Structure 1
Amino acid sequence: MEQLHVETPSRSYPVYIGEGIRHQAVRLLEPVLKGKSRVLIFSDANVASLYGDEVKAALEAFHPVSFFSIEAGESSKSLEGYEKGLTACMEEHLDRQSVIIALGGGVIGDLAGFVAATYMRGIAFVQMPTTLLAQDSSVGGKTGINHPLGKNLIGAFYQPEAVIYDTETLVSLPDKEWRSGFAEMIKHAYIKDPEFLAWLKENVQSVDAMKKDTLRRFLKRSIAIKADIVKEDEKESGVRAFLNFGHTLGHALEKVSGYGDMTHGEAVAAGMIFSMKLSNYLQLSDWNIKEEASWLEKLGYDVEAPSAFSPAELMEAIKNDKKVQAGELAFVLVESPGRPFLQKVRESDVLDLLTEMKKGGVKYD
């Protein structure tokens, strides 16, 4: 088992990574559960059928444990899903000494974390991620839900008490979900660690390669990068904004494609390539787009996904993104691996680039 420690101004907490460690949840969570009154396991229907009973059985030997399950998928990360979660807390008589355990992927982690952050003005919660994508979302304390007008517009910074990352749960993931999570690892490498990026490019040329025994190595490195950034900037007033590389267009793609048709990571991968094109277009970098896109396409990402949608519709979604500053578009761009920066961009430049992509141009410019 590997262990990392995340330090933030509001809370410090351990991250445990290893195979089968969900079975050690009682021991690992002893400091968190000590003196607590009740536990509510918050999950979705898919994960609940795989791991819900065993996690519940392990914990209820020591604490009163109840279970809440919601429909799987991004659509549950909504005002309606949030209300259902709060209702479950009330119906199960959770008090301020209770703990919520988020057992599932990024949707469950974000939703359960937001419920924990706001129920009775904040109760303890633990992340137990079961997807590769959640290696990013389970660390750092971003919680929240979507609104029909935009992704993650409602939420709170609220750190967990601990993260238990059982890599054995990743076995059940379809290839699409492996790609989704791996895109966030790629993002971490682009913005912070050129050596890690080079290692990934050399060692991961297919989805099958993501699943090899080296998984724990790059999982730990990816989480460490995220932890270092969060330690420096917990509430995204500075360098933490760089974690949004690929996300401005990525969130727009998720919205216009209908929240769920395109995974978060697939959208982010396309968003990273678009950001490289944009920085080249603005003469702020000199990316070899063909080379970068070729690697991502080999892994199964559709980096030309923006060309399938209306530029005007994408533009409208981008303008509703939470990263817009005083009405101006702000993109995280990367001059070269490890050298990110935040750039205000004219709407006309973004629209021109999206329009050229729609026409089939600037594919590798």
Structure 2
Amino acid sequence: MELARGLAHGLALPSNCVFDIEDGGLAARPRLLVDIDLTDTRSVDRFRQAMGTPPARRDWLFIVARTDARHQTQTQANALNASRNIVRSEARPALLRMMSVAGQRDGSRAAVEALLAAPGGRSIHAAGVELAGLFSSFSDARPFSLQAVHAVGTELIGSIGDTGAANWLDTVRGHHEGTFQHCLLVAGVAAAYAARHLRGTRMARRLTDAALLHDIGKACVPLHVLDKPGRLDETELDLVRAHPRAAVDYLASTPGLEPEVLDAVLHHHEALDGSGYPDGLRGGDITALTRILTVCDIFAALVERRAYKPPLSDEDAIAILVDGALDGKVDYIRVRSLAEVFGMNLPATLDDVRVNMARAAESLPAQ
């Protein structure tokens, strides 16, 4: 029982003992993860009673057997309407892959053709294919092609230069969703920044590499946590906060991957005031590349389209980033540079921002 609870905790799933569930208490649940000894008739009978009359189709019903003898339990699992029978020793990686961004499938042929015909669609499709491969490689602990990452980054810079950042981001939002959409948006925002301010420099490639790689550690986090509309609990927060280090643990052995890129992947959730994670870095300990990636990541999160929230406008997203700079969390110079990508001209310094805010306050009519 404790092993089962540990598995559920590691996947941020609710858990119950089958003997505590009323008859038919599981009937309406379309998704079930069941850790059961299929050779124990008492447990099997109790599960049947708790299951009641299940829906015609369950998305998942996993029976995690306590024995390694699959053939001895497969017939019993089938009789319980299990869609898959997984040996416990293999359960966590197998379940996580199916429940994570690494388990997402490509769209239909019609969806791909529609994407290819949209503004910037070919580069978005190429980036999507590369991201899917990266998540899969991470999940399977396989090496990936750094040269392919370089090539996609170069294509993104060129495509966004031709299409325009706003049009490119609109296409992503129209054809992708959830965590995968976010990863593409970050890559696009970073490529737009590079196209405007870094074209032809080594920093441009570092930025697009870091943007494409920065969130692959999220393959360790179930999608129901990543895409949860409400506030995360402590267990869920711990899972999410583990993704930068998980990414770097995987990437560290990649030949040719520059230390600056690894640093940006690890520290893209740090804040200048020390309130970020995973290391609570402050000010001068945060590199220029990381500061740029952080601003691009936050901007992308703000302009995402989710089922539970519409995207913010580019102007509102930049305004929130300016507030973050005023609070000492993000680099204002990088915010100002990103604003230029989207046709906005901000004051030269934060002091100028404060002066403008004071003047605006003074001009308001007295209450």
- What is the TM-score normalised by the length of structure 1? 0.30
Structure number with bigger Rg:
2
* Larger RCO (CA under 8 A, 6+ residues apart): 1
Q: Which has the higher strand share?
A: 1
- Whose helix proportion is higher, 1 or 2? 2
